[in-house]
Structure 1
Amino acid sequence: MARARIVLVSAVASGQGKTTVTAALARRLMREGQRVRIFKTGPDFLDPMILQRASGADVYALDLWMVGLDECRRLLAQAAELADVILIEGVMGLYDGNPSSADLARAFGVPVVAVLDASKMSQTAGAIVLGLQQYGPVDLAGVIVNRVASASHAQMVAQSVRDVQMLGTLARQQASLPERHLGLVQPEEIAEVDRVLDNLADRIELDMDAWNAIAPIDLDDVPLPSMPQLLAGKNIAIARDAAFAFVYPANLACLRGAGATLQFFSPLNDEPIPADADAVYVPGGYPELHCATLSSAHRWQASMRAAHQANMPILAECGGMMVVAESLTDAQGTQWPMAGLIPGQVVMQSHLAGIGMQSLATEHGELRGHAFHYSTFATSAEPVAQTIRQRNGEIGEAVYRQRALTATYFHAYFSSCPAAMARIFSAADA
């Protein structure tokens, strides 16, 4: 049996500072000599990058629908064997979504720590905290107040929060973690990112007695389920750089668990697919910010075309699909030629084109995941399948198949159906 102090860090809405507070809390507790692991609720690639940098360990997704109850339990138990503290950052507001962050907390008996942006309020904070606590209800372990203007401001908020423990405060920061259209900027793009994170740890005022009063949770050991070696002997080449960084750590673990060997290459550096690759995975990311470089990466493009002609299995996922199309038009309206493995043009737009949890029915079972993109894809290719939106059962993203290429905006969570994942990367064998 494993044992750790576990809290779910949530808020009334997005933009309250959950990621900032979680990162600051992680670094502060690590200074206290505690081992910290972090999870992120729901589908997200960018927040986990910041949290990984803050904690020094991979940040896995926890989601009752996409990941599943049993796998969430196993991941938590595994982390508790390695950590004294587990922080779970929620998604959006505490009760948003179905299942919500509150549902996740209740499923495992995890108390909630509410992050409250007090920049434009004082005593009203108490009413918000009371609502967060009682609406579910949830076990509210305490509150961390963000963007505090002064000591007197913090005192007014603390007095309003009545019977709920004030765990700490974080003063208003002159410089915050930068964002762009898909969310936070990747940590590699933030100058002196570790200095920023260390400064947050310096600035968070934490009541250690109150924190240590949160009772640890016992978690039964959950054995790792046996994984059929469906990809034994396969070398899978994965695009990985600033343009293609949106990969769940669990997806890499699933590929390895199925017997695959992983190799990484950089299209931005015009690196071709490794010569001994049996399959290729081009995940999502920010290709729209690197159009000129990718358009002129002739060695990489030629290797993609050669692999496609040779019927090598290729999964081009979201940003990956954007660069295997014929062209990509950036936010400034410039059209850039791309690899051209599938007919059609991708065009960036200023508003969301697709968002939300989705599933794909396959002959091997249901593959779950999500979509989140600002571009559209106009193509003459006919989809071989379409995802279903988890929220309302409506049609979601198209899935295209050209030779052994699978292209879609859908981000699949591989371990939701390993057999379906293995089929994608073994298409030439079928």
Structure 2
Amino acid sequence: MPNKPKARSCPALFLTAPASHQGKTTLTSGLARYHRAQGRTVRVFKTGPDFLDPYILEQASGNPVYSLDLWMTGEADCRQRLYDAAGDADLILIEGSMGLFDGTPSSADLAQTFGVPVLAVIDATGMAQTFAAVAHGLASFRPGLPFYGVLANRVASARHAEMLLQALPSGLSCLGTVLREDAMTLPERHLGLVQAQEIDDLEARLQQAAAQIAGTGLTQLPPAIAFQPAIAAPLPTLLAGVKIAIARDKAFSFVYPANLELLEALGAELAFFSPLADDALPEADAVYLPGGYPELHLATLSANLRTAIGLREHVAADKPLYAECGGMLYLLDALTDKAGKTGALLGLLPGHATLGRRLAGLGLQAVELDGETLRGHTFHYTSLQTPLAPLTHARRASGTAPGEAVYRHGSIVASYLHAYFPSNPIATASLFTGPP
């Protein structure tokens, strides 16, 4: 038998918080940019399903950002990606999701599974000595969690910083205090952060965040962690000879890099097109319409004809088309945005969706298609009215309520579910070749 590959060691840090909106992405980006500027290779990962933070983290670090989730991507996938990163990185950073102990599995579960030291970013707005109580609670709540320390964010002044640290227990390290700074704050909209390609001054914000990191103890590398490889079976080339046309622009950008890499590993040839630019649809055997923000570009998508004609001809030829969330909305008869304006869209999937002010779907889910299960997540503010009967429904990772509907209409498979393709390569291949 061949020898098992040896573990790889690399300094690593897991940035988390007591809740969302504490500034994790801003400071993780600043930390990545600071160390990149020192000439180090920085690899960043994002906990859980997320399409928005990773593009900002990618710009900060200069390397692709992959998702880690013990349920959606699986422990073996997480293990192998960390091992691969440790092969060329000088520093591995993992940005957590929500609060440290939120969700099942949580950021704490992920950090503990791989032994990565945890740094808690705490928004100190409106807080003084209670900062120490929050820090103590995070550090001591779960015995065995490799807790590295805390960082005070959005600090008002030097005097405020003094008060924050007054009651901090001995043995609990504060790695620094970061002043409140609008110039580095990342803008948000209804699905989270504004996309990286839409923030004109993103570079300046990253540099400002890096400058704040320069005044903290995070200039020193964290401890080196040993990462073990996972053992995976070789992938069958189930998509050899299949060319897949993939929508990619500001309206359709919610794609896991791992999804595209898996399609290529299965043998597919990928070609990209922009519905916003009204590109001609590339000659292809199958189409992938990922999620994004069609509601923000409704007038343009409604007016563009060349892409629409190509997609209609593709479906008329009975070729596979797989659409997720925003991609599914593009297929509908019509979509109404938050201002109440309605635009006619492709008319390939009967129905009308309306953008609401409250979340209509959120959480990890899995769907069984043709006997194979794909895992993923859902996150949307639109509600769909359609006469179509669902082919099936996804199952939630936790809870008993039914998950998202999945529709099969001719050669189209569509759902609000965002699938993580590496969770099942066989199921993925069938999306682009049709049912057996």
Alignment match, 2:3? none
Q: Which residue of 1 aligns with 2:265?
A: 257
> By how many angstroms is 1:410 displaced?
0.5
* C-alpha distance in 1 between matches for 2:306 and 2:398: 42
Q: Does 1:347 align with 2:354?
A: yes
Q: State how 1:265-344 maps to structure 2 within 5 Å.
A: 265-275=273-283, 277-344=284-351
Partner of 1:390: 397
1:350-389: CA deviations, max 9, x gaps?
1111000001023343210000000011111111111011
> What's 1:66 paired with?
72
Distance 2:204 2:165 in 1: 29
Other structure's SS at 2:104 match = coil
The 8 Å contact of residues 25 and 53 in structure 2, kept in 1 or not, is answered as yes
SS state at 1:67 partner: helix
Shift of 1:159: 3.2
Structure 2 counterpart SS, 1:358: strand
Pairwise CA distance, 1:339: 0.4
Local SS of the residue matching 1:66: helix
Q: Distance in 2 between matches of 1:408 and 1:287?
A: 15
Match of 1:143 in 2: 150
SS at match of 1:268: coil
Pairing 1:85-124 to 2, within 5 Å after superposition: 85-124=91-130
**Could you say which residue in structure 1 is the equivalent of 2:138?**
132
Distance in structure 2 (CA, Å) of the matches to 1:199 and 1:19: 13
Bigger shift: residues 219-228 or 102-111: 219-228
Within 5 Å, which residues of 2 pair with 1:21-40? 21-40=27-46
Separation in 1, partners of 2:25, 2:177: 14
Shift of the 378–236 alpha-carbon distance from structure 1 to 2, 3 Å rule, reads same
CA distance in 1, matches of 2:93, 2:215: 15
Instruction: Supply the distance in 2 between the matched residues of 1:209 and 1:339 (Cα, whole angstroms).
Output: 50
- Read off the aligned partner of 2:332 and give its amino acid letter: A
Aligned to 2:22: 16
Cα deviation code 1:137-194 (max 9, x no counterpart): 3221011111111222223223332221121222101232110000000111112211
CA contact (8 A) 1:170 1:205 kept: no
Does 2:192 match 1:186?
A: no
Report the CA distance shift for 1:158/1:291 in structure 2 as closer, same or farther (over 3 A): same
Query: Percent identity among equivalent residues?
Result: 49
> What is the match of residue 53 of structure 2?
47
**In 2, distance between residues paired with 1:192 and 1:271?**
28
Higher deviation after alignment, 292-301 or 216-225: 216-225
- Structure-2 residue corresponding to 1:169: 177
Q: Distance in 2 between matches of 1:273 and 1:352?
A: 32
Q: 5+ unaligned residues in a row in structure 1: which ranges?
A: none
User: Structure 1 CA distance, aligned partners of 2:325 and 2:64?
Assistant: 22
Q: Secondary structure at the match of 1:86?
A: strand
TM-score by length of 2: 0.95
Give the 3-state SS of the residue equivalent to 1:72 in structure 2: helix
Whether the 8 Å contact between 2:79 and 2:229 is mirrored in structure 1 is no
Q: Secondary structure at the match of 1:69?
A: helix
Moved more, 197-206 or 43-52: 197-206
In structure 2, the residue corresponding to 1:328 is in which secondary structure? strand
Residues 225-257 of structure 1 deviation map (CA, whole Å, 9 limit, x = unaligned): 411101011111100000000000110111111
Q: TM-score, normalised by structure 1?
A: 0.96
Q: Is the 8 A contact 2:177 2:216 kept in 1?
A: no
SS at match of 1:57: coil
Paired amino acid for 2:255: V
